Structure 1
Amino acid sequence: MRTTYVSLLALFMVMMASAQDKKQQDIDAIKSMCGCYEVTFNFTETFNYSNDSLYKPSDTKVDHALEWAQLVTDEDDKIQIQHLLQVGNPAKPMIIKHWRQDWLFENQELYTYHADNKWNYEEKDENEVAGQWTQKVFQVDDSPRYEGSATWVHVDGKSYWENTTPAPLARREYTTRSDYNVLLRGNRQEITDYGWLHDQDNHKIIREEGQEDVLLAKEKGYNTYVKVDDSRCSAAAEWWKEHSEKWELVRAKWNQVYNRDGDLTLENKVDNKTLYKFLFDESITTQTQIDPIIESFVKK
């Protein structure tokens, strides 16, 4: 009897050690996305299913940028990475706050995009997310964008994470398209020998209450992040040092909103201005200024 107990205990210890090794592999993969990258954004519409003979697909887009991915939070179960674009004259570049990605281990609370600027709050069972990481992606103003939970896979020399989740229209689309209102994003983030790859298979969806979703078109995204020396992004790194306190206050207010644990609907504009235009104002720096601005965009 004692032998059986010792054997089970030994097996349990091996399993625990293996789980910890796996989690560390996950953490290493996520954090390897930090640093300075030459990015190529590639998007093209592949198939359309419209009944409209005059339907015009989106133009193929290929853009290039230098991007700094700054590690903001480095905890055992939470990693935050802020992306910054560095554009213009290399001698005196312009820095643009870009998207943010948070990674949470075995996270049970998600805001899943529904449509028309509404996110539905959902709570997953702990068994559903065992060993998984939630990737939460945020807009330039730290408002929600999309999120999903999945397992990092490390096999045959590859490390990747993939998930399909609904999202608002991409920035390249929402100013020019109004014939669909949900982008169902098939996201694969893979660590490569040159840096990392964001591979996407997206569906453009028409979603209306009480009706089945309608597939309008499919889109391929293939964004390569090629690692370059960090010194090339030194201007972006310095910009973040100067502005990080302000954006910590912005995240703190958003955390208050998310912690209400209920469905979330946001205004597109307040006083005919989008949220990022308020928050990108250099004169807005304090919590007493930031909090009411964000709150004004949250529909009661």
Structure 2
Amino acid sequence: MHVTLFTSLLLLGLSHVIAQPRPEDVAAIKGQCGCHDVTFLYAETFAPDKAYSFKDRYAAKGIEWVFVEEESGPADRPTKVVIQHLLVIGDTLVIKHWREDWLYQNTSLLKFDQSASWKRADITTAQAKGQWTQKVFEVDDSPRYEGSATWIHADGRHYWENTADAPLPRREYTKRTDYNVMRRTNHHEIQPDGYIHEQDNDKIIRSEAGDQLVASEKGLNTYHRIDEKKCQAAKVWWAKNRAYWADVRAVWNEVLTNRKVVAIKGQVKGNVLSRDLDELEKAYQKQPVASEANKQLIHQTIEQYLK
């Protein structure tokens, strides 16, 4: 009897240890942080239709500050890490860029369907064991795509790779109507001087008949760490705007948690959500209000865009 009880307690203790994230996983996730010189490169590589006209290659550069905005769990082994990206243009102009939340052993995913709609999908505890979910959000903190996978640490390499459906990227969503889903295979690999975000993407037209491949493309975003002073403008901007966007994030977390399906309208009265939230931000800067009052205004704004 005593042996059985001791064994049970021991197994419970071991399961608790296993449930904690590996330090090397956390180090890899945070290894994306810093001030970076970024290069964005995309090229279409294949199309099943021989008559398809390949689109021009895309190339862009910028400076981006990537930093941990929030984390929860044990200090040495957090189970949630929120990473924010800010673009710096010309050393002075700052643009709030995308956000990525990393959750350990998460079992609930919001999967993109089509036409700005997402559906809740669960994975089993066994499937999620040891894995990290990357939740990617738009500039207005609305959902984009999510995927779960294991960080791999082998032969001196540290990488995470997953395939997930997503909306059209910002570089194409105002220019293309020949596809409505991008199936992204994202490969994040930490380098000594930064990291790379390699992509193998399929551009798909989704209909009641099923999915049809339009074209495939290769993407390579290279983040090369540079002097932190190059991102000083971003740090100043975030110190000023952080409280407002923390409220936006909190409202979205509440909205997304309570919905099995999320569908977002492209426009409301000729405006788009990102612009309306930016206008609220400007008003907040001129006359700050209490967090709860601010969240109420943000919630009202977001609700207008939910179908």
Whether these two folds match at TM > 0.5 is: yes
Aligned to 1:280: 278
Please name the residue that 2:154 is paired with: 155
Provide the C-alpha distance between the structure 2 equivalents of 1:289 and 1:25, rounded to a whole number of angstroms: 40
Offset at residue 16 of structure 1 (A): 7.0
Question: What pairs with 1:1-300 in structure 2 (closer than 5 Å)?
Answer: 20=20, 23-50=22-49, 53=51, 55-75=52-72, 76-88=78-90, 90=91, 93-209=92-208, 211-281=209-279, 282-285=281-284, 286-299=294-307
Alignment check: 8 A CA contact 1:163 1:186 kept = yes
Deviation at 1:58, TM superposition (A): 2.1
Q: Distance in 2 between matches of 1:143 and 1:14?
A: 38
Q: Which runs of 5+ in 1 are unaligned?
A: none
Task: After superposition, give the CA deviation of every residue in 1:130-161 in whole Å (9 maximum; x if it has no partner).
Answer: 11000000000000000000000000000000
The 1-side partners of 2:153 and 2:15 are apart by: 17
CA distance in 1, matches of 2:28, 2:248: 27
Q: Distance in 2 between matches of 1:87 and 1:132?
A: 35
1:17 deviates by 5.9
2:289 corresponds in structure 1 to none
How far is 1:49 from its partner?
Answer: 2.0
Q: Show structure 2 runs of 5+ residues with no match.
A: 73-77, 285-293
Q: How many angstroms does 1:284 deviate by? A: 4.1
Distance 1:105 1:11 in 2: 21
* Amino acid across the alignment from 1:143: S
Q: For 2:17 and 2:275, how far apart are their aligned partners in 1?
A: 48
Count matched residues.
292
Residue 292 of structure 1 aligns with an amino acid whose one-letter code is Q
State the alpha-carbon separation in 2 of the partners of residues 245 and 15 from structure 1: 38
- Give the letter for the 2:239 counterpart: K
- In structure 1, the partner of 2:288 is none
Residues 133, 268 of structure 1: alpha-carbon distance in 2 compared, 3 angstrom cutoff: same
Counterpart CA distance in 1 for 2:229 and 2:37 is 13
Shift of 1:79: 0.2
Partners of 1:45 and 1:284 lie apart in 2 by: 42
Question: 3-state SS of the aligned residue for 1:116?
Answer: coil
1:284, 1:290 within 8 Å by CA — same for their partners in 2?
A: no
Q: Secondary structure, in 3 states, of the residue corresponding to 1:189?
A: strand
